Structure 1
Amino acid sequence: MSHENHEHSSRRARMMSSLYSYSSCVADSRPGSARGIAAGTAASLLGMGIEHLDRNSEDSLRLTDEELDPTLSSGESHGRSKDHRTKEEKEQGHFMDRFMERLLRHTIAEDSAESEQLSSRINDPSRSGKPQLSFRIFASNMKQLSAQMGTFFRLQYGLIHVLTWRKPTKTLTCLVVYTAVCCWPHLVVAFPLLFLLFGVIIPAHLYRHPFQRPEILPVKKRGESFLDFLNKSDDHSVVLDLLNEPKEGFSDTQSINSSSTSVSYASTPLTLSSASEKTTPEELRKKDKSKYVKSQVSMLMNMRDLQNLTTDILEAMEQAKQLSTNIVGFKDERLTTFVFYVTIAVTSVVLLLGKYIPWRAIFIFSGWAGLILCHPNTKKYLVGFGNAKSSKATEKKEPKQLFLDTFDSRSIIVDDEPEVRVVEIYELQARNILRRKWKPHAYSKRLFDWKDPVRVAGKLPHGVDNLSKVLPPPEWKYDFGYANNWHIDIEPQNFLWQRGIDMQHLECPSDETEGWIYDKLPADDDISTEFRRRRLFRECFRYARPVPRFSVGT
């Protein structure tokens, strides 16, 4: 059985080798033609298949370096071992890279600049550690990236609105800011700090600790803005004309290689030497097909690079979200408060003393210092500094921790009072008009008076049978230490009057001491069940809302 498998593998390898030789000869004899490109593609696939068969052959006997002919010179053995390592490194490469490398070898001349450019890009060491092209990952990255590009698109359209004076207030504000930056360059540093304060930290604090805003009745807009009146025009901006100008050139329905004409236009002026050269149509077609192969290979490489770029962008966005949530999202109240104070101090220094600070020198020196630190010769000093620092930490036997993990400033006291609200529930009891005993019905959120929509529809109110099942609103908690600390409203007339509830069919007896509100049913209605209810209330607390999840780009 093993012998038959060996013969079958050998026969298959010989057949693939003969096909590989034939297709390689065709590709070499017809470079640039359609048949040559097809033969080169087939030769590339067959060559990779032959390598796969040789690598997976279990019956082949491989010699080690010690078993080689000892008469080989050291130079030859070194060259072979080097070639062997190079072959192994190539075998470990991506399938698409190896396929494109072989395809270039069979379709584009090796001495051409295009082949050298594409080969250097394929063999770039910085690309070897990246994932190979996967349309699943590519589509997933594009889907996630498109979902997080909202901010960039809003910025794009906002810039168009500013340039076209769509909203005059924005345009004038941008002009004032631009003038201020030109007059005082230190505002370039102050504006990001102000955005951090009023656009990130303060909104995050207001989200976790919202103010008790009074209810304001909405009022319709009256009159017209003065800026809108000045900006009123029957025409639109010239920027919109430039943006909406139709693009000249070929449309989607036009073909570049049109067969309706045989006239060709030169992109450069003809010279005497170029006119004397005889270029046949066959050579032109070969050059066009060679360019087509190059464009397709470049497209595949660009797709892979774009896939890895989108992966890096998504990872950077996720890290930015986590960093924003941990530092300025009040997840740690003391840390965010410390960042808030530091930002206020730095902003004050920049605004008050900014004109006395040599900003040009700071930016010049910081740029030079950053690039010098990126120089390869400074790496050994940075690594030595890091090793010395880690060795000191090891001697002290202190685990390496981040600043966010070790930060604890006792001087920052966060003692905001909790937000207090009152929740209420109605205890409903029912009885038959022919009996005098009241029976508990439910604890409901509805007053269930005569005009209640549920009661008008002839349905019973929804509720629970026990107060322990009444839960506080989301993000809120009841007062600690009391399981059923509910209070009875013994003066129901006040809350009925405050809420403007019609008491035509409700009755509060003067001798009632338990806060019950009874039905006062019309005498002509055929109703056999009546209800009474009383209001129960208790306090609930909220120290802060959940930490906001910052989104980058949405």
Structure 2
Amino acid sequence: MEDITADAFVNRDDPIPTIILNKSTQGSRTPSSTAANSQQPTGHDSEQSDAETTPGSWRKHGGIRGRFSALKEKARLQDQLVEKLLAQVVPTDDDMTGEFFPDDSPSPQKKNGDSASPGTTEKPNFNLTTMSNNFRRFNARIGVVFVFQARAIRVLSWKKPTHTLSFLAVYTFICLDPYLLPLLPLAILLIGVLVPSFIARHPAAEYGNPSDEQQQQALLMMPYSPHGPPLAPAMQVRPAKELSRDFFRNMRDLQNCMEDFSQLHDAVIALLVPRTNFSDEALSSALFVALVVACLFMSIAANAVPWRLVFLSLGWGVTCSGHPAVQRQLQAAHERHVQPQEEAAMGWVGRWVERDVILDSAPETREVEIFELQRLSGGGEWESWLFTPSPYDPLSPARIAGDRPSGTRFFEDVLPPQGWEWSEKKWALDLWSREWVEERIITGVEIETEGERWVYDIYDERADRVGIAADNTNANTTTGAKGKGKEYEKRPSWEEGDDWEGRRGEWRRRRWVRLVKRKNISKDAVVS
């Protein structure tokens, strides 16, 4: 097993530097990670450190290849042991499927042999062995990303000014003529992939020792000739071998990139979340107004902005700021001019927010309603029936379907809507019965404009006769079957006595109203 995989994309230069955004973040690291980063060498020291920690050093100090197989066998046994332990803690497949894929979202994993829908693939659940294998495969192939990152850092930090100036030249051409942008990936494929592959297949001839001065002159005078048959095998891209020096270089860069992402994530959260989550409602409201104004301005003036010059200036500015001399000047200017005025500017913004941003501290209030429903008894008296959210009028769907009204019998059992609480202590009777009847376009009712403001059903004589006939039929059938029965009591008619106030039906209702306000939801309740 070799220490270096020649055909693998691996960052063999200096380790990618870890970005330190602030001192507090650096101090919050664990002691092990801090010690590892502080002891990490660069340059030739990095090569020496890799040689001391990789299998190549074991071979130099008398190690044997059997050590590798022993390590793999030990790792496999550890994976199996930890997997059995996790099986006792991690939920089963059904529980995990329900947790990560709620009922309203389709799960990518099918059960009971169901075929997967088109465009979806089945994914396995968490498994320690699969996780370990996938990480090793990923780490062996991620080197191309680190190579690109290292080269980008080298270009932006002016390690080789000619490369940086070439990048700025290409960037300038693209900014001044954006139609050249589709040409860029084609040129990269041509110059960065095909040309090196051809040169690797047709290498240049070597003439003697390059350290000899005469041979160097001969090499300079001898032009490169692409003619002739291929002299070397085609270039291949292979993943880095496990437990090789390149494999550990990828792990080193992956470790540093994870730290960079964590610091960048924490910095963005610390910068944006307190200003956008309305924990400080005045500041978030001011930011909202500023963004609305900016959106309106950009919707009008975006066509007039010279975007080519803007992107050209930004690109040159960012690239030039990476030069060491420019960084020193910017740091000195920031300490000399920006820092003294930063507190004054933030204080001015704070005073403007406090003075001009006015918040409505009173909670939102609304009016809720409930209908008191009463029914006429057989003795001609009104009985309290229910407190219901609907008036149960003669043409309501529930009334036509023959369903009984739903609600509660007592005022105390009426609850406010979810997320609201009572703003008033008592219910108030709505004295404007005609308004809510006309608003709902309710017909077949009689409105009481004085007194208790009841809304009565109008008596339907035809329906009442049908009901009386049906009741008489049931009574005769019962008497004939049992030989005796109670004589049917005829319903009192509105025309039979003077005690009835007009021709009214068996239901009446009136409306009660009460104010509610939005409930203050605590943070603990939201989290739970």
Question: TM-score, length-normalised on structure 2?
Answer: 0.37
Q: Greater Rg, structure 1 or structure 2?
A: 2
| TM-score for the superposition, normalised by structure 1 | 0.35
